[in-house]
């Protein structure tokens, strides 16, 4: 029997957080091996574990997978979260890439210079309510089904709910005019494995604070 996937990253959200969410939604228990120092990262590199010299890296099924999208796609395909055919997979990828565009802006927000932060938050809010959330609300409304693609849970739904939580940390009111997105959030958050992931003491990481930001900068020599 294969062991639990082992996640190698620093103790924060970053690019690993979507992987944590996807594993949780798939009901897969995982372990984390935190990179805590620059030397720890160097050791992974020197041991040949990081194909492109960077994390996240996930040990799973005898492989050491790197590159976030490759890891996500492998987990999604393995756990039937990637559609039933090529057309559904294309839609799932399309939605997932759009979600990633906005989520990347949110992930990078802690690195934004203080004098630019307010403008960046305004931009995130504007894009949320005018560019991204309307697309997903319309998609759900157009077919009247519970999930974005094929009326079955996919990685796109999970990524979207992760994004919704991140957006609400910036401004909870941004979801007010999107009732179908609210319902999707409730539906996925109620899955037992996701509920466990989200509860206090679960494996979901908190927003990046100054301490975590400084640690990440030190580890990655930023």
Domain CATH code at residue 154: 1.20.1050.10
What pLDDT is attached to residue 1?
45
Look up the CATH number of the domain holding residue 12: 3.40.30.10
Instruction: Extract the tokens encoding 113.
Output: 């210079």
How far, in Å, CA of 146 to CA of 164, rounded?
16
- Asked if 77 and 70 touch (Cβ cutoff 8 Å), the reply is no
Which of 158, 21, 22, 149 lies closest to 84 in space, CA to CA?
Answer: 149
How far, in Å, CA of 67 to CA of 19, rounded?
11
- Asked if 181 and 164 touch (Cβ cutoff 8 Å), the reply is yes
33 belongs to a structural domain: yes
Residues 127 and 170 in one domain: yes
What pLDDT is attached to residue 147?
97
CA angle centred on 142, ends 26 and 90, rounded to 5°: 50
Residues 101 and 176 in one domain: yes
31 belongs to a structural domain: yes
Residues ≥6 apart with Cβ < 8 Å to 99: 132, 156, 159, 160, 163
Residues 16 and 57 in one domain: yes
160 belongs to a structural domain: yes
Residues 92 and 176 in one domain: yes
222 belongs to a structural domain: no
Residues 91 and 110 in one domain: yes
Residues 37 and 69 in one domain: yes
Low pLDDT (below 70) residues in the chain: 1-2
23 belongs to a structural domain: yes
40 belongs to a structural domain: yes
Residues 45 and 68 in one domain: yes
CA angle centred on 10, ends 81 and 157, rounded to 5°: 20
pTM, two decimals, is 0.96
Residues 68 and 129 in one domain: no
Q: What are phi and psi of 63, to 5 degrees?
A: -115, 160
What pLDDT is attached to residue 222?
79
Residues 10 and 58 in one domain: yes
Residues 158 and 118 in one domain: yes
Residues 71 and 99 in one domain: no
- Which helix (H) or strand (E) segment holds residue 63: the answer is strand 63-66
What pLDDT is attached to residue 83?
97
221 belongs to a structural domain: no
DSSP summary character for residue 111: G
What pLDDT is attached to residue 210?
86
> Which domain covers residue 57, as residue numbers?
6-79+197-212
Residues 135 and 51 in one domain: no
Question: How many domains is the chain built from?
Answer: 2
């Amino acid at each position: 029997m294969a062991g639990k996937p082992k996640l190698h990253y620093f103790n924060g959200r970053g690019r690993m957080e979507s992987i944590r969410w996807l594993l949780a939604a798939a009901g897969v228990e995982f372990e984390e091996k935190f990179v805590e120092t620059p030397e720890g990262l160097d050791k992974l590199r020197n041991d040949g574990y990081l194909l492109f010299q960077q994390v996240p890296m996930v040990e799973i099924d005898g492989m050491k997978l790197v590159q976030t999208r490759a890891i996500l796609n492998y987990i999604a395909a393995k756990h039937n979260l990637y559609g039933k055919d090529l057309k559904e997979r294309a839609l799932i990828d399309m939605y997932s890439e759009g979600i990633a565009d906005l989520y990347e802006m949110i992930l990078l927000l802690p690195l934004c210079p203080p004098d630019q932060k307010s403008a960046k938050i305004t931009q995130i809010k504007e894009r949320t309510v005018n560019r991204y959330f309307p697309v997903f609300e319309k998609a759900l409304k157009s077919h009247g089904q519970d999930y974005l693609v094929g009326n079955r849970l996919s990685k796109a739904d999970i990524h979207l709910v992760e994004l919704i939580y991140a957006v609400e940390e910036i401004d909870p009111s941004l979801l007010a005019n999107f009732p179908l997105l609210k319902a999707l959030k409730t539906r996925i958050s109620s899955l037992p494995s996701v509920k466990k992931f989200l509860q206090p003491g679960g494996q979901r990481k908190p927003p990046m604070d100054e301490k975590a930001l400084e640690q990440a900068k030190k580890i990655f020599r930023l």
